[in-house]
Amino acid sequence: MATLSVPAILVLSVVVLGSFIAASAGDFYQEFDITWGDNRAEILDGGKLLTLSLDKTSGSGFKSKKEYLFGRVDMQIKLVSGNSAGTVTAFYLSSEGPNHDEIDFEFLGNLSGDPYIVHTNVYSQGKDNIAIRVFNNEESIGVPYPKNQAMKLYSSLWNADQWATRGGLVKTDWSKAPFKAYYRNFKANACTWSNGNSDCSSKTSYSSSAGGNNNNVWQTQGLDANGRRRLRWVQKYYMVYNYCADLKRFPQGRPRECRRSRFL
């Protein structure tokens, strides 16, 4: 897990490198199902905007209709504004089953004027185009890598004031409810999974006309020297926790992946 502070309006990208086949964009009616929260989640503006709402009774959430194996997913999110202490806006990819894969972003609310905190988690088997986290494929040394299980995209807005803001010291101010998060400009350049089969093909290329990702060099491109410098800048000035540096958590030695990568 890594933890960083971030602004309240962001462009979030999730990239899992591998084969690539199809592109989709835009219509929340076609791409997502509202999964919980009664009428607290809404699709508006002809499918171009989705909102989640949280009040003292319940939060809300949605998930993608499709499952993705490899690709790039982009979403613009406006997080809860003002005093959002105690709230969590989660955005993640997850497979199903007990030994699931998951790529997880959790945006922890704040007191008005303070920055958001973002937790990033990667489970394998158990922004502005500036990378904030890299998880390398280290299967050669026995570290599981999330490349075999298709994942749906999920998001939810919920109350976690027992731990979210300053470790639970700052509670949710329900006089500010309902809290709202906004989503738009969803784009997925990805191969999809259906009925146990994938439409991925390493021999197939696709130039997206969906906008934003006409150039698919991200499929094979690693961080160049400038990208590594920007990542180190993010980690130096915004990271407040890195599990690879938590020696108390791992008194018997750091996890294997921490010994080879400077960018976790």
Q: How far apart are the first and last CA of the chain?
A: 8
**Which pairing describes strands 49-54 and 87-94: parallel, antiparallel, or unpaired?**
unpaired
Which of 134-147 are b and which e, b meaning 16 or more Cβ less than 10 Å from the residue's Cβ?
Answer: ebeebeeeebbbbe
d(CA 98, CA 169): 32
H or E element: which one contains 249? none
Look at residue 169 and give its three-state secondary structure: coil
DSSP letter string, 97-165: STT--EEEEEEE--STTSPEEEEEEEE----TT--S------GGGT---S-SS-BEEEEEEEE-TTTTT
Active site residue 138: no
Determine which one of 31, 42, 96, 106 is catalytic: 106
Pick the catalytic residue from 31, 102, 139, 257.
102
Cα-based distances in Å from 19 to 70, 95, 204, 227: 6, 18, 8, 22
Amino acid symbol at 115: P
Whether residue 102 lies in the annotated active site? yes
Cα–Cα dist 99/243, whole Å: 21
Beta-carbon contacts of 183 under 8 Å, excluding residues fewer than 6 positions away, are 28, 49, 50, 51, 52, 75, 76, 77, 78, 155
User: Which residues belong to the active site?
Assistant: 102, 106
